[in-house]
Amino acid sequence: MSRAVTEQRNPATGEIDQLPTLAILRLMNREDAGVAGAVGQSLEPIARAVDAVVERLSRGGRLIYMGAGTSGRLAVLDASECPPTFGVPPEMVQALIAGGERALRRAAEGAEDDREAGRADLAQLGAGALDAVVGIAASGATPYVLGAMAEARQRGAVTIGLSNNPDSPLSQAVDMPIVVVTGPEVITGSTRLKAGTAQKMVLNMISTAAMIRLGKTYGNLMVDLQATNDKLRRRAQWLVAEATGVSPDEAGRLLGACGGEVKTAIVVQLLGIDAATARARLQACGGRVREALYRDPS
C-alpha cells in the first residue's frame, strides 16, 4: 500500500484541518482540476476499450462492470442509466458490486477481500466470449475484482481494467489496462475523491462513446431515450422538434403517430414517409438515424 500513489500523503493538503471552509474548498477544487488532464493522458487505451466493447455489443454481447466500494457504486450508476438514456435492455450493460445490492447503501468493505466471490458472481452471469468485462479498482489490487477478471479471461471474455495506480496487479491481469494516475488524495487514501471522479469520467466515456458508435444518438441528440415520465416525454417532444424544425405541438403529434418512437418520428418528418416505412429503413440501417435518412436501404 505504501507504494500505491493513491495511498501516499498529499503535501499540498497536510495542514487542511487548520484551514477555514472556503480555503478547504479552494484546495479541493485545485486538486480536482487536474483530474480531467489525467484522464486525457489515457484516451488512447480508453478508445481501444470502447472499440472492443462496441464489437461485442454489436454481436449481442454485454458490457459487465465489476467493482467494490466507491468503484462498484459508480459502476452500478453508469449501468443503471444506460436503459433510460439509450433505450437498451438492462441486460446489455450490467454492474456487480462486492457485497451485492446491500453494499450500494451501506459500506461492506470486507466483501472486497473475497476473490472467490468475484469469480462466483461473474460465473453466475454466465459471462463468455461475447462479453466485455471491466474491472474497476483505484488500487488495482482489490481481490474481488481480480477474481472476477481471472474468471472472465478463463471464459473468453475481453477484459478491461480501470485503476489509478501504475503497474498494478489489475493492469497485469487484463487484456486492456486503463490507468488514470490522479495522485495522492486530498484526504490520504480516500479514493472516493479524485480517483473516484476519474473513474466516473472514464465510465461515462466508455458507455457513452459505445452507444454513439452503436447509433444510439443522432448528432448529440439522445434519440433512443425511453420516455417513461413527464420530463422524458417533454424531452422526446423537444428532440423531435429540434431534429426536424417542426413546432413542439407538431412534434407531439408526430410522436403520437409513431408510437412515441423519437427516431421513427424524425425519419417520418424528414423523409415524408409513413411510420412503418421509417421503421423498416431504421431496421435496415441498424437503428442509425443518419444512415436511414441518407442511405437507400435497397
pLDDT score at 105: 84
Is residue 44 annotated as part of the catalytic site, yes or no?
no
Q: pLDDT at position 213, please?
A: 96
Catalytic residue among 112, 151, 185, 261: 112
Burial class of 39 by CB neighbour count within 10 A (0 to 12, 13 to 18, 19+): buried
List the one residue out of 256, 264, 209, 267 whose CA is nearest residue 233: 256
Range in 2-11, 22-31, 74-83 the model is least confident about: 2-11
Tell me which of 7, 81, 250, 291 is the catalytic residue: 81
Task: Name the least confident of 138-147, 252-261, 265-274, 289-298.
Answer: 289-298
Per-residue pLDDT at 167: 93
Which among 76, 141, 139 is positioned nearest to 115, based on CA atoms? 141
Residue 297's pLDDT is: 61
Tell me the pTM. 0.93
Mean pLDDT over residues 211-223, rounded?
Answer: 96
Look at residue 1 in the predicted model and tell me its pLDDT: 52
81 is catalytic: yes
Instruction: Tell me: pLDDT of 117 over 60.
Output: yes
* Distance in angstroms (rounded) separating the CA atoms of residues 94 and 62: 8
- Predicted confidence band at 2 (pLDDT cuts at 50, 70, 90)? low
Domains, the chain, ordered by start: 5-213 (3.40.50.10490), 230-294 (1.10.8.1080)
Q: How far apart are CA 183 and CA 133, in angstroms?
A: 26
